[in-house]
Structure 1
């Protein structure tokens, strides 16, 4: 298959690309704007592992991997509509996987315009490209953040998501609505994936695993928000990639039993589907921190703080649809996942003695 992965230099984009390249017949093009929301060098290091030398990267031009014959990378922005349309016209993609987005809940309080640019305008350009140069399947990343004030757990794709608590979550909900509209109007097969707190090697430095690990290694206070009274459905990257790969091959169809008198957000009379991908075993924040202390062999200095704006007290994925449709279950416990993360972290950031 010829596959476009947007956000190709990102955390999930890198791991997914690497996994798909083990299937010899795949031709993958990664796309990323390499923005400086976090350390660009980390993004370049991920690309290096995919065989893309930083010196080969040129604006709006495809460059070839030196390691994987089936991989190419283009340094551009989805907001560049002309470049995107030309890319689709020339490549005729079978599958498009959209992992590009302005991430981060708290950053959306500081720079809301970035979220409209990257998560709304850029996503519209991608939908337009899929409309004019039809693909077999568009898979896009949503987020557990869309559940917002929903107090019923576990979170189900059949639940109402009318009350987001951050602009980031609102843009992700908007993506789901936009994707359904294009699926309905132009018969584009579309699948949305709500990811639950993904972590692992080469993860984002602004996420809790890196923040926790740095603080413990440096003997600095570890900030614990809502006084530790939170639970998260932490999901290891290998499980996420495994789930996405299963989804890619199942092209959604119109649900013949869909009832517009009892509308279900997870399916449609359009070729549209929606899934949670989580661990479905949430742990308390203190249990998660304890896993870091065990893996590092050092107790954290703890600083307890109130809840941050835009945050939620709990995330917990209902995986019924992933189990029923794909026989999918995550395999990595928090203890094992944190241990693998710390093994990588010590080497990458120079904490290895």
Structure 2
């Protein structure tokens, strides 16, 4: 399957997407991040390296596939793989924009080599799917750790459970821990929002859905405009510089985090009105969610969060804090609660 991003940028030369229905010589093993598919060590430039994900899915060991949900570019299922519960994502072939749907699949792998407690872990991915598992509308399949069915969107809007200050700060810290790690490896998520933050049974947040993500070139903090991703993300959370077609940087994720944090604090939608009006007003008039009248911002910690929000969603990317700076601020708040 052709990709707008060269496969060699994403997969090592000795690993390419392939179909393997035979037995697996690499069992699922336990480590500090949970279960993972451990691929045999390989010698690269005289050093031994262990891959933490595979470009081969062993379909004979995949069973009990049950639908969980679907989005713009894919459908997610719960399944069993070598006796472990996993999440299976099929990336759809979008008939209106085939290039964008292909880019979405390859973007999912930008963080596949990374391991962090606040990021959903990739186990395996391939573009080769047997007929009894795939369909003509699928570009590829990705196996990931199964975190659960809860996301932050459901907790904010769908439940009656209280969200006290301790949970605001804890959830926010989890997200920013994940962003700091991604940004330190030059990966920008570009679609941070409550629906893309999964919450485990232990109440830990994990960043998911990297279909809009972007890998910055080594040594660059901002991409050139020609590198603007085709996949747009969610307009309510998209930074104004991206709406204007300017370069991508980690500060775009900080803007999106600011909108997400406001939702977590208020449990309200960030904007009302039609999409075109919101897009125009965010860029032309610095439209942001209101922090004036909501009672949550009247407490001492609420006033502190109000100041933090204004920094996160500044119209100028260089005025926004880094994930490292955000984390330090959140840890100070957490110590006072």
TM category, shorter: under 0.3
Q: Which has the higher contact order (CA 8 A, sep 6+)?
A: 1
Which structure has the highest helix share of the two? 1
